[in-house]
Amino acid sequence: MPSPYRALFTAPGTKGFSAAGFLGRMPLSMMGIGVVTMISQLTGRYGLAGALSATIALSAAALGPQISRLVDQYGQRRVLRPATLFALAASAGLLLAAHFSWPDWVLFGCAAGIGAVPSLGAMIRARWAALYGGTPQLHTAYSFESVMDEVCFIFGPIVSIGLSTAWFPEAGPFLAACFLAVGVFWLTAQRATEPVPHPRERHTRSSALRSPGLQVLVTTFVATGTIFGAIDVVTVAFADERGHKAAASVVLALYAAGSCLAGLVFGLLRFTGAPERRWLLGVCAMAVSMIPLLLVGNLAFLAVALFVAGLSIAPTMITTMALIERHVPRAHLTEGMTWVSTGLAVGVAIGASVAGWVIDAAGAAAGYGVPAVSGAVAVVVGFLGHRRLRKPVPQRGGAVEHHSERKERHMA
């Protein structure tokens, strides 16, 4: 590991919460695609599979920011454990309903309950911000976490699709639930690195989404999430049409591998220019990378095209996290990060659902038109909202506030 990354882990407790966060985030890449694979194998209905995946994402979009707001007020341990137990119960219900062919409304009810899964990525980034806020190491920490996200997306689909196709259809989502339980309870057992909650503000604080800059980021990432949700569903169907459904996991892993590689390199760089310009460039790069998908004719070409497309993901996500630090206060940080994840979740829901219906109506190849159109929408929204990102709100979680918070913890 390059020295800037190795230096992150000199602080006590960083290895433990990072490892727990990695396990807890595996369901992010396993659950949705696992449900698509499970339902398509059990019923052959890609429309239903996409709609269930969309329901999970929409539920997470509705519940995630509320859970994170409670975390900012009361702390990670007090909030994450009950929320996770509820999500695990809903996951068990979905697997039973799918296995025993219960009515569709039961499937959708359980899928909605899974949305209580906490945003582990936001929780881990909040811990890094509490340690390194206002220092150059925070850029490296966010880069590392983006790489970990992509490692999850490299191995998660492979494991989830592989188990569901080679063992039994419910195997992928079941293992995702196990990872969630272990990750959350391990993370919340680590109290020393837990960010200090802000209970005094619970009666007066407004939503982080009131920030104009955050509104731009979230809206743009709705379109970006549509890209991700559509690509997952369409790639599984594309591989299935060619008689190699299990190969979809490898192709999607290459998509994540491109992002992982770019994130590693990006984290080693130091930038002096305006971050909003880098962010807009990343959004444009993601949109342009969708065009070759319209021309794919075989899995080999698709794999190469998705690897190249992945190169723009992690740098854009890393820059987004830096912009959140500039546009929301420290007491809102977890919620602000979760709102971006919420935008992605809404987009994933839209992309998975629309792509599923397009596949049923016109075939998998036509489905790649969904991410292409979504990329164009992301660019338009990014350009329209670019000026809002150029006006960071003062005293939004800077070095003074972080230093004061660490001093209070030390004195306590």
Nearest to 384, CA basis, from 217, 209, 222: 217
- How much is the pLDDT for 92? 94
Alpha-carbon distance of 113 to 91, in angstroms, equals 8
Whether 373 has a pLDDT exceeding 60, the answer reads yes
Banded pLDDT at 191 (limits 50, 70, 90): confident
Whether 398 has a pLDDT exceeding 50, the answer reads no
Domain boundaries 18-195+208-411, corresponding CATH code: 1.20.1250.20
Whether 27 has a pLDDT exceeding 90, the answer reads no
Tokens 């038109």 belong to residue: 369
Whether 386 has a pLDDT exceeding 80, the answer reads no
- How much is the pLDDT for 245? 76
- How much is the pLDDT for 331? 67
Whether 20 has a pLDDT exceeding 90, the answer reads yes
- How much is the pLDDT for 170? 87
pLDDT tens sequence across 86-98: 999 999 999 999 8
Alpha-carbon distance of 79 to 119, in angstroms, equals 12
Contacting residues for 146 by C-beta, under 8 A, at least 6 apart: 259, 263, 266, 267, 314, 317, 318, 321
- The answer to whether the pTM exceeds 0.85 is no
The alpha-helical segments, DSSP class H, found in 247-368 are 247-268, 275-288, 299-310, 313-327, 333-362, 364-367
Q: Kindly state the percentage of the chain with pLDDT values over 90.
A: 22
